[in-house]
Amino acid sequence: MSNEILVKLIDDSQHFLELASKANQMSVANMEAFVNFQMNASVSRVKSYMDLTENAIKLNDMTSYRAFLDKYGETIAELRRQFNMDTKTLADMIEQFKSEFDKWVQDGQLPPLERTSLETHSVDPPKPL
């Protein structure tokens, strides 16, 4: 009987480790996608700000200053639009990960809770001294 319990515990722990490994793989893949997305978005924003800085250096009269202010307003509006799109994309990524994880759980990847043979046997309470 104790051998059966030990074998069951080993099998259960192996199954648990496989499930934990799969969950970790899904989480790492998701995190990589988030990081790559954020890095690409950051590079795009930095380039926009660097272009503005380079244009600010070239200011030498009121005409160039007016053109710079127009370009500045356009750049800020574009960055705001990109930020809103990025926010929606991140929300979509989160929703996709959640639905993939929920599907994985619902498809029966997690074992049903079973009563072990230890739980089915009653144990007498200790006797008072």
Q: How do residues 61-72 score in pLDDT, each as one tens digit? A: 999 999 999 999
Q: What sign results for the dihedral spanned by CA atoms 32, 37, 41, 43?
A: positive
For 83-118, what is each residue's pLDDT tens digit?
999 999 999 999 999 888 888 778 765 554 444 444
- Predicted pLDDT of residue 25: 87
Is the pLDDT confidence value at 23 over 90? no
Phi-psi region of 108 (alpha: psi -120 to 50; beta: other; left: phi over 0): left
The string of DSSP codes covering 77-114 is HHHHHHHHHHHHHHHHHHHHHHHHHHHHIIIIISPPP-
